[in-house]
Structure 1
Amino acid sequence: MIDIHCHILSGIDDGAKTMEDSVALAKAAVKEGIHTIIATPHHMNGRYENTRAIILEKTALLNERLKEESIPLTILPGQEPAIHGEILEGLENEEIQTLNDTQYLFIELPSGYVPRYTEKLLFDIQLKGLIPIIVHPERNQEMVEKPDLLYQFIKKGALSQVTASSVNGKFGKKVKSFSEQLIEANLVHFIASDAHNLTSRSFHLENAYDHIHNRYGVDMTYLFKENAELLLEGSNVLREVPQHVKKKKFLGLF
């Protein structure tokens, strides 16, 4: 498996604290069947500022350590930039790191709302030849209340990535239910761990794929796994026609 979202680089955000933590996460990833991880430290989220140069250096150091310990895991450079008005400048200044130096770029929204300039920024990013991927939309409160926001973003070219722990119910029944609604509406293109540690925020990726397989069948599972591979290559990912979310009311009644 490939995990495109993980906070495995040590000492630069709220993920792994030490190199030993990084190694422990790597061992857990391999045990789960993950062979490649894109390291995606936070950037410009009000707490952390991890530029491309820092990420490349940290990625190289971790790969060296994993090689020394004969851990069969490859770490690739990525980043989780919080949405902000200077993202395009950050790209020009080479402070922003795309996922494995491809055309795919993570965008993290605030947890409580969707900024008014989001649609324009996503459009401007695409004008630069990049494809924005909205991370964990299922945990954005305004998205939950107004899922048509995500529909419009996806319809206009953006992609989205849902967290494995959301699919598994680790973030609660409401988030799990909304994640399933997004999947059913073809508004999800990737499943990734967003792992931070081995206690409260671990991988759970294999379990998430099992759940998706049991609920939606092999084709949906294949789509998500294949998209992770296509992303690494910088190829066009698989997309189904996006649908409007059918908002479920209490007790699952429409």
Structure 2
Amino acid sequence: MIDIHSHILPGIDDGAKSIEDSLAMARQAFNQGITKVVASPHNKNGTFDNAKSAILTDVQLLNKALQQEGIELKILPGQENRIYGELVEELTQGDLLTVNENGVYMLIEFPSSHLPRYANKILFDLQVQGIVPIIVHPERNREIMENPERLYNLVKEGALSQLTGTSVTGKMGKKIQKFSFDLIQSNLTHFIASDAHNTKARPFDLGEALETVEKEFGISTRYMLQENAEDMIMGRMVAKEVPQQVRKKKILGLF
């Protein structure tokens, strides 16, 4: 298995606090059958700024530590970029990371409460630059939950999306789990990742999440999501079905 979203690099955001934490997370990932993990620290989210050059250095150092510890896990570089007005400009200046430096896919985060007015334009402009935006954890965005057509329109226009493992397994609540299932059913998501921050409260749970998908949607959907992760880190085209509108429903008491 390949996990495309994690906060495993030590001491740079709200994920692993130390190299010991990173190694513990790596062991947890390896023990559930994960072979590659994309390190995607927060960037430009108002709290954390993590430059491309620093991430690449930290990934190299962590891979060296894993080799020394005999942990057969490969860390790949990435970046969870909060959407902001200068994102495309900084991309063209070479300041931002695509996943695994493949020049094709980039993880994009929205604020938890809403979609900025310029979101459609930024995602369009990224695609003009040859970058496929992957919207991370849309199932936890209030505006998308209340108006799923916002995600539908973005996916219809070429964006992809990634669900969080704990959302799929129900550990973030039944309402978020149900909405995650709605997004899978409507072909509005293309990846599942752990978004792991530590080994306890926000652990690697990709295996359990994929087992849940298999139980609810069948093995072919599970295989598609797993293969998409592999194709994505290699910069290849991923599988996607024609997006459908989520049935309109009023969601109350989410937060």
Q: Which TM class, normalised by the smaller chain length?
A: over 0.9
For the residues of structure 1 that align with 2:130 and 2:228, how far apart are their CA atoms? 19
Instruction: Calculate the aligned-residue CA RMSD, in Å.
Output: 1.1
Shift of 1:247: 3.1
- 2 CA distance for matches of 1:147 and 1:131? 20
TM-score, normalized by length of structure 1? 0.97
Indicate the residue corresponding to 2:123 in structure 1: 122
- Aligned runs of 1:55-74 on 2, under 5 Å? 55-74=55-74
Unaligned runs of 5+ in 1: none
Could you tell me how far apart the structure 2 residues matched to 1:248 and 1:49 are?
A: 37
* Runs of 4+, deviation exceeding 6 Å: none
| Aligned equivalent of 2:47 | 47
d(CA) in 1 for partners of 2:101, 2:206: 23
Give the Cα separation in 2 of the matches to 1:73 and 1:122: 32
The answer as to whether partners of 2:146 and 2:250 remain within 8 angstroms in 1 is no
Q: Secondary structure at the match of 1:132?
A: strand
Which whole-Å CA distance do the structure 2 matches of 1:249 and 1:142 have between them?
Answer: 12
Q: Deviations over 1:142-166 (max 9, x none)?
A: 0000000000000000000000100
Separation (CA, whole Å) in 2 of partners of 1:212 and 1:148: 23
Q: Which amino acid counterpart does residue 196 of structure 2 have in structure 1?
A: A
Within-5 A mapping of 1:135-214? 135-214=136-215
Work out whether residues 8 and 25 of structure 2, in 8 Å CA contact, stay in contact via their aligned partners in 1: yes
Separation in structure 2 between the aligned mates of residue 130 and residue 154 of structure 1, nearest angstrom = 14
Give the aligned partner of residue 17 of structure 1. 17
Length-normalised TM-score, structure 2: 0.97
Per-residue displacement from partner, 1:48-92 (whole Å, max 9, x unpaired)? 100100100000000000000110000000000000001112212
* Structure 2 portions without partners, runs of 5+: none
| Greater mean alpha carbon deviation, residues 101-110 or residues 89-98 | 89-98
Aligned: 1:133 with 2:134:
yes
- Which residue identity lines up with residue 242 of structure 2 in the other structure? V
Q: In the alignment, what sits opposite 1:89? A: 89
- State the Cα distance separating 1:93 from its structure 2 match: 2.5
Give SS of 1:133's match.
strand
Partner deviation per Cα, 1:171-212 (whole Å, 9 max, x = no partner) = 111110100000000000000000001111011111111110
What CA distance in whole angstroms lies between the structure 2 residues aligned with 1:178 and 1:248? 10
- 2 CA distance for matches of 1:226 and 1:235? 11
User: Matched residues in 2 for 1:14 and 1:249: separation?
Assistant: 33
Number of matched pairs: 251
The corresponding residue for 2:238 is 237
Q: Distance in 2 between matches of 1:151 and 1:65?
A: 42
Counterpart of 1:37 in 2: which secondary structure?
strand
Q: C-alpha separation between the residues in 2 aligned to 1:10 and 1:210?
A: 29
Q: Please tell me the residue identity of whatever aligns with 1:7.
A: H
